[in-house]
Structure 1
């Protein structure tokens, strides 16, 4: 099943499927704020986001596969499983993206 995602989100998802950290970072604004409720941490800016990807995503090969998308309250909500080498895989996640000028400016990740 193919889901029609806004370009920045589609670019992030495609890069995540390759575990390409530089590609995953490219769609994010330099001042992005990410709340990862699964690990209980907040990341500000792409340098901190790089740390999240390099320490929490790539080592366990966590790949998110969108199954549903909707717009709600100015946010793009994307739901689906993440598969990888981590306990309980696959786990379902909800990603709440905020976009501005073709960039991801905020992201909330909920397990």
Structure 2
């Protein structure tokens, strides 16, 4: 089942299957990503984060639920791949600014 995701979030999940540069373009210039308790600020840092994660692990993420929490949109995605603990469901907590992502926090 394909979830109806807001455009910037749909673009993020589509780019997630490609490369770090494509992922970084989904964000505002000063956006923040928090993943594995590490903060990545700005498009260059976000591109490096995604490129390094993709080099380390092969995975597929499938959004399975969405919850609008008034200013934040939480997407639960099912990830499968060659990483420890696979498969796993992760929560992607997005804050949008117009047609881009201003903040993303990824947590189990």
My pick for the range that moved more, 20-29 or 101-110, is 20-29
Cα distance between partner residues in 2 of 1:21 and 1:96: 19
Structure 2: state its 5+ residue gaps.
none
- Is the contact between residue 11 and residue 23 of structure 1 (CA under 8 Å) also seen in structure 2? no
Cα distance between partner residues in 1 of 2:55 and 2:69: 30
- Is the contact between residue 7 and residue 102 of structure 1 (CA under 8 Å) also seen in structure 2? yes
Spell out the pairing of 1:60-79 with structure 2 (5 A cutoff): 60-79=57-76
Matched, 1:50 2:56: no
Cα distance between partner residues in 2 of 1:103 and 1:34: 13
Cα distance between partner residues in 2 of 1:30 and 1:60: 26
Question: How many pairs were matched up?
Answer: 108
Report Cα offsets for 1:83-104 as digits up to 9, x if no partner: 2211121111000000011110
Cα distance between partner residues in 2 of 1:101 and 1:63: 27
Query: 1:10: which partner in 2?
Result: 10
Q: Secondary structure at the match of 1:67?
A: strand
Cα distance between partner residues in 2 of 1:65 and 1:100: 23
Report Cα offsets for 1:9-29 as digits up to 9, x if no partner: 101111213x33222121111
- Is the contact between residue 20 and residue 48 of structure 2 (CA under 8 Å) also seen in structure 1? no
Spell out the pairing of 1:14-25 with structure 2 (5 A cutoff): 14-17=14-17, 19-25=18-24
**TM-score normalised by L of structure 1:** 0.89
- In the TM superposition, residue 82 of structure 1 has moved relative to its aligned partner by 1.4
